[in-house]
Amino acid sequence: MKKTIYTDNYVSDQLIEEVKEALKEYDTVEVSFDVTGRTMHQILSNQLADRMPEYEFEIGYNYICIVKNK
């Protein structure tokens, strides 16, 4: 099962906790940032991945930010 989290235009501690909690229940969590432009979405996705190294990330240029347990 997959859950999508819609969030603001920055990576916060609250977002990190929300993703961690969702991964307790779901296999996959998709994060969608409220930004204009694929490049900014990719930058924020990479920031999230840097702050959550214990998880597996799939990040793509076309608004892709998928988080899974390792």
CATH number of the domain residue 10 falls in? 3.30.110
**Residue span of the structural domain in which 30 resides:** 2-69
Angle, CA 70 vertex, CA 35 and CA 21 arms, to 5°: 60
Specify the pLDDT at position 40: 97
Residue-wise pLDDT tens digits, 14-63: 999 999 999 999 999 999 999 999 999 999 999 999 999 999 999 999 99
Work out how many domains the chain is built from and give that number. Answer: 1
Specify the pLDDT at position 43: 98
How far is it, in rounded angstroms, from Cα 62 to Cα 18?
A: 23
- The H or E element spanning position 42 is helix 38-51
Are 66 and 57 a contacting pair, CB within 8 Å?
A: yes
Is the pTM higher than 0.85? The answer reads: yes
Specify the pLDDT at position 63: 96
Specify the pLDDT at position 53: 98
Structure tokens given for 51: 């702050």
Secondary structure (3-state) at 8 = coil
Specify the pLDDT at position 51: 98
